[in-house]
Structure formats: structure tokens, C-alpha cells
Amino acid sequence: MLQCVSTEDDFVGAAVTLSVRVRDLLPRDLPACTWSGSATHLSHVERELGRAAAGEVDYLAVCTPVDLPVAIGGVDYQVSEGAGTLWQLAVLPALQSCGLGTLLVRAAEHRIRDRGLYRAELAVEEDSPRARALYERLGYVAYGREPDAWDEEGPDGSVRRHETMCVLMRKAL
Ligand SMILES: CC(C)(COP(=O)(O)OP(=O)(O)OC[C@H]1O[C@@H](n2cnc3c(N)ncnc32)[C@H](O)[C@@H]1OP(=O)(O)O)[C@@H](O)C(=O)NCCC(=O)NCCS
């Protein structure tokens, strides 16, 4: 649906309603997910899809009507006993702040409940106040902090270690 906002002389803007659906992320989707990170990151995601096939994780995709992923993220069931741990949440930069992250988190929580579990957990970097505010708005409560580290690939292909401090958050479902 498209609603145009314009004055007599100028086109000013428009509001577009986009239908999306949530499904499992599949290996064939990966070429359309380059917006979510580097080649190294995507090879990590590909490995996680192997774990999804084995039932160890769920990996979700929010897709547009032409079935292209615009938000992806996983739930790992092997991190914390009795809980699903949300991780690698990412929304296409051009569509952030439209509610897709909220939809992805809610879909992930449904998957956790479908497995008979009643707790969701996640870790958010201390210097990501916007992401943390989103999780607090969705009912997640901080219960600790923990250092984390991973390899990051720069635009020139060089890989460096990213070390960070994360806030641990959880929510009863
Ligand atoms: C963090 C992230 C996953 C959140 O996804 P998102 O789609 O932007 O989140 P939402 O739109 O659901 O909610 C966030 C914002 O949108 C607003 N919002 C939510 N629903 C909305 C709607 N229907 N219409 C307009 N705004 C809305 C919220 O108030 C919030 O406000 P903010 O922009 O001031 O922060 C996404 O921004 C992202 O990929 N960031 C980069 C990677 C990252 O940091 N990942 C998280 C690792 S823990």
C-alpha cells in the first residue's frame, strides 16, 4: 500500500505498508544477506544453518513479498540450560526503525515456546544503547555483564579481533 504526501507543487514523501513473513533462513538465502556482514560473518551463518538442520538452533528470516530476507537472527538452544539464546540479530540498514527487529524477536520467542522452554536470553554490547533500549521495551531485563570477542573483517579483507563487554539480558516467556 502506498500513501503519498505532497503539496500542490512538490512531492514530499510517502508511507509504504510492506507485507512480510517469517520463515527459516535457508542456505540459498545467503547471497541475498550480504548486507548483514562480511564474507567471514556469512560463512559463520552458513555453519549455523548446519546446526539448524540438526535442530540445535533456529535461524529465522523476515522476508518481503518477493521472498528476500530483510531481517535475520538466530536462537541457540545449547548456550543456557532451559533457555533459548537470541543472537546475530540484524535488520537491513535501510529498513531499521520500522519494527522488523521487534517482529524478529517476537518470532524467536515463539520458537522458544514451541520447544517447551519459557526463558529467552541475549547479550548486547554495552556501547549499543539503541539495541538495549529495544530489548528493554520488549521486556528483557539486565542480569549481568560478560566480556566477548570475535573476528571482524574490514572492507580491505583484513581480519582483526573485536573485544567488547556485553550486558546479559533475559525475559520469562
Ligand atoms: C538492533 C536491530 C536488530 C533492531 O532492529 P530494528 O528493526 O531497527 O528495530 P525496531 O524497528 O523493531 O525497533 C527499534 C526502533 O524502531 C522504533 N519502532 C518500532 N516499531 C516501529 C514502527 N512500527 N514504526 C516506526 N518505528 C518503530 C522503536 O521505537 C525504536 O526506536 P529507535 O529507532 O529510536 O531505536 C537493528 O537496528 C540492527 O540490525 N542493528 C545493527 C546490528 C545490531 O546492533 N544488532 C543487535 C546485536 S545485539
Residue-wise pLDDT tens digits, 91-130: 999 999 999 999 999 999 999 999 999 999 999 999 999 9
Average pLDDT over residues 64-78: 98
Fold of 19-172: Aminopeptidase (3.40.630)
Instruction: Give residue 10 CA to ligand 1 midpoint distance, Å.
Output: 30
pLDDT score for 1: 65
Q: Label residue 9 by pLDDT band (50, 70, 90).
A: low
Spatial separation of the C-alpha atoms in residues 95 and 91, rounded to whole Å: 7
- Average pLDDT of every residue of the chain: 93
CB of 131 sitting under 6 A from ligand 1: yes
Q: Which atom of ligand 1 is nearest to the CA of 128?
A: 44
> Strand 69-76 vs strand 57-63: parallel, antiparallel, or unpaired?
antiparallel
pLDDT score for 2: 64
Which one, of 91, 173, 76, 94, lies nearest residue 131 by Cα?
91
Hey, whose CA ends up nearest to atom 31 of ligand 1?
97
Which residues is 57 bridged to in the sheet? 76
CB of 164 sitting under 6 A from ligand 1: no
Concatenating the DSSP letter of every residue in 95-126 gives GTTSSHHHHHHHHHHHHHHHTT--EEEEEEET
Residue 62 near residue 108 (C-beta atoms within 8 A):
no
Q: Which residue has the cell 525475559?
A: 171
